[in-house]
């Protein structure tokens, strides 16, 4: 496709994303028992390096690496069988997008200073509030792996990760943000307003 125009108009190459999924790129580092290729880190790195060498769309390669290394690795390593079964198949076949949501308007490199909260409720569910910013795939994500504190008084020890479907009431995906470079990767904010998630939305302990 016309890459100069796509870059100018911040267009994401959905067809190419699906093609990469068909070729198994998204499955590279995923263990075979979870539907992946079971490739090691060096193989994955060399494959992505080759793709980056031949593909002019650096926003596409960045997006691939982002989803593979952040959300998919976390799902493979820390999710329950139910969580993996729910999310991995659609992510691996390129039909769903996942955003990792750590950064906030007031919390970047110092990630432990985040202010998003996940208030534990009596029935075991959590009420999530917060604003996450600069998220790769944020505006188009189906799944958001977000970090919030269940115990703000405990500092970094109170932070947990949650798998939040973005179609839940109270989840607001923002507009695609303009940026310099990698303009073909959709990138933006997600806000959480009293989003109630069940106990099994929590990832890991």
Task: Please state the closest distance from residue 114 (CB atom) to ligand FAD, in A.
Answer: 9
Binding residue (CB under 6 A) for ligand FAD from 48, 75, 182, 190: 182
Binding residue (CB under 6 A) for ligand FAD from 5, 15, 109, 167: 109
Q: Total residues contacting ligand FAD (rule CB under 6 A)?
A: 13
Contacting range for ligand FAD; rule: CB under 6 A; set: 40-48, 77-85, 122-130, 131-139: 131-139
- Cβ neighbours of 73 (radius 10 Å): 14
Binding residue (CB under 6 A) for ligand FAD from 39, 68, 91, 101: 101
Task: Please state the closest distance from residue 140 (CB atom) to ligand FAD, in A.
Answer: 12
Write out the two tokens for 59.
């926003």
Q: Is 103 helix (H, G, I), strand (E, B) or coil?
A: coil
148 touching ligand FAD, by CB under 6 A: no
Q: What does each C-alpha distance from 96 to 12, 42, 92 come to in angstroms?
A: 14, 26, 8
103 touching ligand FAD, by CB under 6 A: yes
Contacting range for ligand FAD; rule: CB under 6 A; set: 33-41, 98-106, 170-178, 189-197: 98-106
100 touching ligand FAD, by CB under 6 A: yes
Sequence-ordered list of residues with C-beta below 8 angstroms from that of 69, at least 6 positions apart, any chain: 29
Give residue 176's Cα distance to chain centre.
15
Binding residue (CB under 6 A) for ligand FAD from 47, 61, 136, 160: 136
Residue pointed to by tokens 């996940």: 118
Count CA within 13 A, CB hemisphere, residue 200: 8
Give residue 29's Cα distance to chain centre.
16
Distance CA(171)–CA(151), nearest Å, equals 21
**Residue with the closest Cβ to ligand FAD?**
108
Binding positions for ligand FAD, rule: CB under 6 A: 66, 99-103, 108-109, 134-136, 182, 187
């Amino acid at each position: 496709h016309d890459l100069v125009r796509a870059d100018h108009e911040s267009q994401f190459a959905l067809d190419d994303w699906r093609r990469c999924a068909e070729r198994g790129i998204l499955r590279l580092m995923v263990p075979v028992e979870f539907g992946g290729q079971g490739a090691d880190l060096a193989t994955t790195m060399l494959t992505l390096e080759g793709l980056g060498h031949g593909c002019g769309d650096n926003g596409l390669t960045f997006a691939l690496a982002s989803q593979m290394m952040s959300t998919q690795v976390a799902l493979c390593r820390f999710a329950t069988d139910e969580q993996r079964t729910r999310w991995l198949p659609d992510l691996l076949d390129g039909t769903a997008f996942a955003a990792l949501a750590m950064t906030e308007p007031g919390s970047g490199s110092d990630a432990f200073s985040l202010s998003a909260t996940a208030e534990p409720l009596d029935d075991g569910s959590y009420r999530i509030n917060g604003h996450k910013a600069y998220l790769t795939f944020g505006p188009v994500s189906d799944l958001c792996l977000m970090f919030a504190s269940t115990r703000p008084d405990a500092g970094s020890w109170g932070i947990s990760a949650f798998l939040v479907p973005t179609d839940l009431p109270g989840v607001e995906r923002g507009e695609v943000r303009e940026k310099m470079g990698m303009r073909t990767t959709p990138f933006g904010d997600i806000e959480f307003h009293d989003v109630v998630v069940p106990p099994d939305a929590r990832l890991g302990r």
